[in-house]
Amino acid sequence: MRVGILTGGGDCPGLNAVIRAVARKGIVHYGFDILGIKNGWLGLIEGRILPLDLASISGILPRGGTILGTTRTNPFKVEDGVGKIFAQVEKFELDAVIAVGGEDTLGVASKLHDKGLRCVGVPKTIDNDLRGTDYTFGFDTAVSIVAEALDRLHTTAEAHHRVMVVEVMGRNAGWIAVEGGIAGGADIILIPEFPFDLDEVCAQIQSRRERGKMFSIVVVAEGARPKDSSLIALSGEKDAFGHVRLGGVGNLIGREIEMRTAIDTRVTVLGYIQRGGSPTAFDRILATRFGVAAIDMVQQEKFGYMVGLQGNRIVHVPFEEALAEPKTVDADLYEIAKVFFG
């Protein structure tokens, strides 16, 4: 068989571990030809496809990013994008495509599968908000980075008796904020699932001061928003999947807290630090398990499914089920975080 693999959407640590696992098992165990498709769906439209051999995947396990490159290209928004994809599939004699991506990339995989492309999905989102899998790789790395940042911000916040607002990733769901915040001992965590009230936030900060704790760490997910307000976007521009670029909620909250409480407040936006660099051991193992499972599915000719982790078992989830709606933060987990608020 000739199998193409592509990585689409925002990158995250562990993508190279998936590519390595797919190629290693595909080449050595099944005798497949594995082809790397550059830059997500764009590479399939343009025919930027090259063979992967054992040498090209050597040494990539601990590397962040993706050796294949990535874009947020939506073939359904490109003139004759779908027609071009099927032409390239024929030209390169691809028997199957493994798409590694989040809701947008897998949404395209699902639609192309309905049109006859033999596709397997591997879930990827730093935000951990895909349904059908308990975890996506990259998320554990991001949580570790947030926890380490909070440890560092604690010491400077305490020294200066300041409020530190820390903005982290999380467009539709606050998984990074909640898990990173619990791990790093946040005093308040604000997430998209529960619009916040700034008066309440300020009251929590004040009452903590009255208890003698002269600093506060407030973690906010980029998609969090005040009650009765919409998402805080950096600009009105939308990507090919209709998402606005978020950013700015941390600064808004920081300004308001300082104005309302007269407490010295600083803001840190962690940004792309959370997505860069080497994956944790957990993410390397999860990504490897996903890659092996994906190529096994190709060998079994089981298409139209995404691999996932449920409990500690690898499962196969139909695309429609995985893509039905985002996986938002578990209310019980948020209750645990709230025990430590204020």
Site string for ligand F6P, 6-45 (x = CB under 6 A): ----x-----------------------------------
> Which positions from 283 through 312 interact with ligand F6P, judged by CB under 6 A?
none
In 3D space, the residue among 267, 263, 235, 262 whose CA is nearest the CA of residue 251 turns out to be 267
Comparing CB distances to ligand F6P, the nearer of 235 and 312 is 235
What is the gyration radius of the CA atoms in the chain, in angstroms? 21
Comparing CB distances to ligand F6P, the nearer of 128 and 216 is 128
List of residues 6+ apart from 82 with CB closer than 8 A = 75, 76, 112, 115
Judged by CB under 6 A, the stretch of 25-33, 34-42, 81-89, 125-133 that binds ligand F6P is 125-133
Whose tokens are 């398990």? That residue is 289
> Least distance from C-beta 105 to ligand F6P, angstroms?
10
Judged by CB under 6 A, the stretch of 24-32, 42-50, 123-131, 181-189 that binds ligand F6P is 123-131
What whole-number distance in Å separates Cα of residue 326 and Cα of residue 67?
A: 28
Catalytic option among 127, 140, 187, 296: 127
228 is catalytic: no
Q: Which one of residues 35, 126, 220, 270 is an interface residue with ligand F6P (CB under 6 A)?
A: 126
SS3 10: coil
List of residues 6+ apart from 339 with CB closer than 8 A = none
What whole-number distance in Å separates Cα of residue 6 and Cα of residue 40?
A: 5
> Least distance from C-beta 269 to ligand F6P, angstroms?
12
- 64 contacts 13 by C-beta, under 8 angstroms: yes
List of residues 6+ apart from 126 with CB closer than 8 A = 10, 12, 136, 138, 139, 142, 169, 176, 274, 275
> Least distance from C-beta 53 to ligand F6P, angstroms?
30
List of residues 6+ apart from 274 with CB closer than 8 A = 126, 142, 145, 146, 168, 169, 176
> Which positions from 266 through 285 interact with ligand F6P, judged by CB under 6 A?
275
Residues in a beta bridge with 32: none
> Which positions from 194 through 223 interact with ligand F6P, judged by CB under 6 A?
222
Interface with ligand F6P, residue 169, by CB under 6 A: yes
Interface with ligand F6P, residue 191, by CB under 6 A: no
With 0-12 CB in 10 A as exposed, 13-18 as middle and 19+ as buried, what is 229? Answer: exposed
Largest CA distance in the chain: 71
In 3D space, the residue among 306, 326, 322 whose CA is nearest the CA of residue 314 turns out to be 306
Interface with ligand F6P, residue 246, by CB under 6 A: yes
Query: Burial code of 260-272, b = ≥16 C-beta within 10 A, e = fewer?
Result: ebebebebbbbee
Judged by CB under 6 A, the stretch of 20-28, 110-118, 167-175, 319-327 that binds ligand F6P is 167-175
Interface with ligand F6P, residue 173, by CB under 6 A: no
> Least distance from C-beta 266 to ligand F6P, angstroms?
22
The vertex-116 CA angle with 114 and 121, nearest 5°, equals: 65
Judged by CB under 6 A, the stretch of 42-50, 92-100, 105-113, 120-128 that binds ligand F6P is 120-128
> Which positions from 96 through 115 interact with ligand F6P, judged by CB under 6 A?
102
> Least distance from C-beta 201 to ligand F6P, angstroms?
22
Interface with ligand F6P, residue 69, by CB under 6 A: no
Q: Which one of residues 14, 101, 124, 127 is an interface residue with ligand F6P (CB under 6 A)?
A: 127
Interface with ligand F6P, residue 171, by CB under 6 A: yes
Q: Which residues are catalytic?
A: 127
Residues near ligand F6P, by CB under 6 A: 10, 102, 125-127, 169-171, 222, 246, 275
